[in-house]
Amino acid sequence: MKSDTMSFATIGRFWFPVFALVVPLAIIVVVTGQFGGLSIQRTVIEMLISIVIVVGLYIFVGNSGIISFGHATFMAIAAYASAWQTCCEMLKPITMSGLPPFLRDQSVPLLPSAVVSVLLAGAAAFLTGLVIMRLTGLAASISTLAVLFILNVVYSNWDSVTMGSASIVGLPTYVTAWLALGCAVFAIVIAYLYQLSAFGLAIRATREDEVAAAASGISLYWSRLIAFTLSGFMVGLGGVLQAHYLGTVSINSFFLSFTFLALAMLIVGGMGSLAGAVVGVVVITVMVDIFRRLESGISIGGEQWALPAGTQELIIAAFMLLILVFRKDGIMAGREMTLPGQEQREKGLING
């Protein structure tokens, strides 16, 4: 018979990897909210949105070991869906005349519109996954690239509905630091529960050894399809948040540069663990922010100097390559945040 304190400790130990990520994030939000300047607060919100996106990406890429270049697609689908429902009621009939009447002539309330957009992203991921998850790892990766290009071509040219490659401006901006934090926590919790579920364990087994996993009765196809769909929902949520944080949506912000940055975050932190995804976002966000400031110019000892524009991208790419060469499993190397002693116990379990 376990006492209450025992079960409390057990729960604590179970949730520790989540707390170890969420609590520092909450502290960052509180501290920057109190003492930080406006630009730092903006960076923090962007970081939290990136966490939703990269954790979403991690749900598929990290657990399956298959790189996806296509997740920006599902973000774009959700972001555009949300724009169609909530943006600029007065202008919509003119700028997006091709929309069906129920969207063109009215706005949908924010919460239902967000839910619908996220569901749409998930549905798109499911349909894409039905086809692509039939392929082996590398072919699947390249096909996700095909998906990214298909969506980019379609949305860039479907002028009457997406305004082509122009930006849709005037989405309601309701994303605050606390909302972004809430969504980041939600993403982390879902990803954590998923990776410990039977589905999550199955797909992690396929990542380690496809043949052995298949021989143990795991369906590569279904386990990957489930992860791909869930991950589509989550990046869709990220897309909605980003759209309603920036207030604008533009198809070119969901293309290769963005895909690179999201993957860089995941790889630098280490795509093998949830903690890696979150740590990667924090590290890359800080780096990008520092170099963005240096590029815009700072004064040292009364003298103004600035790095040439574009240095930031070079440094991020070089940093990612260095990580791949010297620490190829990323900063966290596939580990979650654990209590001292806990990891030892798990190692003992594996070895014993």
Q: By rule CB under 8 A, what string of x and - marks binding of each residue 157-196 to other proteins?
A: x---------------------------------------
Contact 29, 256 (CB under 8 A): no
The one among 318, 327, 344, 346 contacting other proteins by CB under 8 A: 318
Residue 132 within binding range of other proteins, rule CB under 8 A: yes
Q: Which is nearer to other proteins, 87 or 125 (CB)?
A: 125
Residue pair 17/274 in contact (Cβ under 8 Å)? The answer is yes
Question: Quick one: which of 292, 156, 185, 174 has its CA closest to 242?
Answer: 174
In the complex, what is the shortest distance from the CB of residue 201 to other proteins, in angstroms, rounded to a whole number? 20
Number of residues that bind other proteins (CB under 8 A): 43
Nearest to other proteins of 70, 122 (CB atom): 70
Task: Tell me the C-alpha distance between 48 and 24, whole Å.
Answer: 12
For the bound state, the minimum distance from the C-beta of residue 137 to other proteins, rounded and expressed in Å, comes to 7
Q: Is 298 in the site for other proteins (CB under 8 A)?
A: no
Interface pick for other proteins out of 317, 334, 345, 346 (rule CB under 8 A): 317
Q: State which of residues 103, 126, 172, 210 lies at the interface with other proteins (CB under 8 A).
A: 210
Question: Which of residues 79, 205, 263, 265 is near other proteins by CB under 8 A?
Answer: 263
Q: Which of 61, 75, 44, 60 is closest to 267 using CA atoms?
A: 61
Alpha helices by DSSP H, listed for the chain, are 4-35, 38-64, 71-86, 92-95, 101-104, 110-132, 137-157, 159-162, 177-196, 198-208, 210-215, 220-246, 256-269, 274-296, 311-326, 342-351
Amino acid at position 15, single letter: W
On whether the CB atoms of residues 167 and 175 are closer than 8 A, the answer is no
CA gyration radius for the chain? 21
* 311 lies in the site for other proteins, by CB under 8 A: yes
Q: Which of 272, 267, 280 is nearest to 333 (CA)?
A: 272
* Region from 35-43, 78-86, 197-205, 302-310 binding other proteins, contact rule CB under 8 A: 302-310
8 Å CB contact between 103 and 161 = no
Contact pick of 183, 267, 275, 277 for other proteins (by CB under 8 A): 267
Min separation Cβ 170 and other proteins, Å: 26
- In the complex, the residues that contact other proteins under the rule CB under 8 A are 65-67, 131-132, 134-139, 141-143, 145-147, 149-150, 153-154, 156-157, 210-211, 257, 260, 263-264, 267, 308-311, 313-314, 317-318, 320-321, 324-325, 328
